[in-house]
Amino acid sequence: MPKYSYVALDARGQESVGTIEASNTNDAVGQLRQSGYFPTSVHEEGKEPAAAKAKKGGVSVAKTSKAPAVKAAKSGKTANKSVKPKILMIFTRQLATLIDAGLPLLRGLQVLEKQERDPVLKATIAKLNDAVQGGSTFSEGLAQHPKIFNKLYINMVKAGEVGGVLELVLIRLAEFQEKAQKVKNKVVAAMFYPVIVLFIAVGIMGFLLVFIVPKFEQIFKDMLNGKPLPALTAWVIAASRLVKDNFIVLALVIAAIVIAYRLFASTAGGKIIIDKVLLRLPLFGDLTRKSSISRFSRTLGTLVTSGVPILQALNITRETAGNHVVGEAIGKVHDSVKEGESIVQPLEASGIFPPMVISMIDVGEETGQLPEMLLKVAEVYDDEVDNAVAGLTSLLEPIMIVFLAVVVGTIVIALFLPLITIIQQMQGG
């Protein structure tokens, strides 16, 4: 049986050179792939490698060098797009499961590429596959797609590669994404209810002012014979005229306010001011604070547990804090730790973190179990977010019902007050 010389990559992207006995080139390639290798060049001993280039597409160096270019051309339209957090979360969980089951990284990426339905993520997985086959590490491949994989994701994977526990880190990362998404969904759900009720109230009020009130105004003119209208009715009619006659102007004013807010929120100073206001809002401020503490604790705890150095972990946590006020506090913690001081003092000085959190972190730092204590804080504050959302929802329901009743009721009462006078006139007549 002839012998074939090969150059192949293992699951970690390391190049391997050797010989194998096989009946033909295809058989040699099949044996290598079954062994977990990904051949880049296979040729029979005593023959030129170029003779093998015409065989087995994708195996020779010539074919392999073209494959990434083709895939890159096909996925060029998706290079600047991002992926929804839920889709990325599912990808991470699936990859962690495949690697934990014993599949090599490259084989896992190939399996996920075939079954992925999202076109952006599918093209990205193909590029990751090419990068690892080309000799890059998985974290280096991820770093080429910063709009999809943030620094937290990349650095955790890098720490897993260095420590040889990539499958464990991917499982932690998947759990982190799932819990973070769960907290985010609860906060969004709490905000969703009042926003919907507010839009309904505005819609009903606009409909009444534009279509109903003008008809009643004409009725009042015909039947009251110039008698003065009640003050509330006159105010509602004036508001109706303002909305009806200046609808375009009002729409432009609202659009200008929205654009100005977005421009203001895009500036560094504006973001800080808005985040400060969010932390101090009645009802919603407490929920924002608790979700920020939960995010900080889980992110830092997960990074440190995965082997990321504490200073680098603090930098990543600051960038992914989601609130610039909390981010500034984490930045001060970074500076304190860099100078060899405790993590507790700057947290306490920020005024954002409650005494219970500071005490737990202090105990964790003294006992050398800071990562475990941070994750415990995150679990506690996940429950706090649950309770805050439940309490906020139960409190908002009657408030929004009363608000809707006042808005609609005011207009209805204003329209019925003149009708009482009209009915009395008709009875007198």
Distances (CA, A) of 379 to 32, 291, 383, 406: 46, 11, 7, 41
Report the b/e string of 266-284 with b at 16+ CB within 10 A.
Answer: eeeeebeebbeebbeeeeb
Structure-token match 């001993």, residue found: 45
| Consecutive H or E run containing 15 | strand 15-21
Q: pLDDT tens digits for 180-232? A: 888 888 778 777 877 888 888 888 888 888 888 888 888 888 787 777 888 89
Q: What percent of the chain has pLDDT over 90?
A: 11
Q: Are 95 and 170 in contact (CB under 8 A)?
A: yes
- With 50 as the cut, is the pLDDT of residue 64 above it? no
Distances (CA, A) of 292 to 180, 247, 347: 11, 40, 13
Q: pLDDT tens digits for 376-409? A: 998 898 888 888 888 888 888 888 888 888 888 8
Closest CA to 417 of 189, 284, 227, 159: 227
The phi, psi pair for 11, rounded to 5°, reads -65, -25
Among 61-65, 107-111, 227-231, the minimum mean pLDDT is found in 61-65
Closest CA to 97 of 36, 175, 154: 175
Closest CA to 99 of 48, 165, 147, 38: 165
User: In order of start, what are the domains of the chain with their CATH numbers?
Assistant: 3-63 (no CATH), 75-149 (1.20.81.30), 176-429 (1.20.81.30)
Distances (CA, A) of 257 to 245, 253, 266, 276, 426: 20, 6, 14, 20, 48
Of residues 49 and 366, more confidently modeled: 366
pLDDT bin (cut points 50, 70, 90) of residue 373 is very high
pTM score: 0.66
